């Protein structure tokens, strides 16, 4: 029991920041998944015109940036935790969970939102290119 409380005190900042990041990522991922289900059968143009797209793109960007910053900080702590196996395992666990959330957010945002934006961009480039060749 004393060992566990010492471990929690040593890594209080990492545990708190990671917990906040995980909770925000879970809520964001659930909302993004629900949004993806709503727009699944819409055309690319309709998806791009949806006002919520900006929120989800910025949200994914912010979560990835915040997660990378937290990940780097935790990774640096990994080399300082050699005195305790439990400390090392805790930090390793948090790093693995961060990687899982990175993959989840990137997967959810790229399907179908980024595809719609990319398709609309390609269509715009094609139209602009065709009009400029006249």
More confident residue, 131 or 65: 65
* pLDDT band, residue 85 (cuts 50/70/90): confident
pLDDT in tens, 109-133: 877 777 777 677 777 777 887 777 6
Distance (Å, whole) CA 113 – CA 48: 8
pLDDT at 78 over 90: no
Question: Which range, 15-24, 30-39, 99-108, 111-120, has the best average confidence (pLDDT)?
Answer: 15-24
Buried b (16+ CB within 10 A) or exposed e, 22-49: bebbeebbeebeebbeebeeeebeebbe
pLDDT value of residue 18: 94
Q: Is the whole model's pTM more than 0.85, yes or no?
A: no
What is the average pLDDT across 54-58? 85
């Amino acid at each position: 029991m004393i060992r566990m409380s010492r471990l929690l005190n040593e890594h209080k900042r990492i545990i708190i920041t990671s917990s906040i990041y995980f909770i925000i990522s879970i809520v964001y991922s659930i909302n993004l998944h629900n949004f993806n289900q709503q727009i699944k059968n819409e055309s690319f143009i309709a998806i791009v015109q949806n006002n919520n797209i900006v929120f989800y793109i910025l949200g994914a960007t912010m979560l990835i940036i915040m997660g990378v910053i937290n990940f780097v900080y935790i990774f640096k702590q990994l080399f300082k935790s050699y005195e305790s196996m439990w400390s090392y395992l805790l930090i390793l666990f948090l790093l693995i969970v961060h990687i899982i959330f990175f993959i989840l957010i990137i997967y959810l945002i790229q399907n179908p939102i980024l595809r719609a934006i990319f398709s609309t961009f390609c269509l715009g480039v094609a139209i602009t290119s065709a009009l400029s060749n006249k």
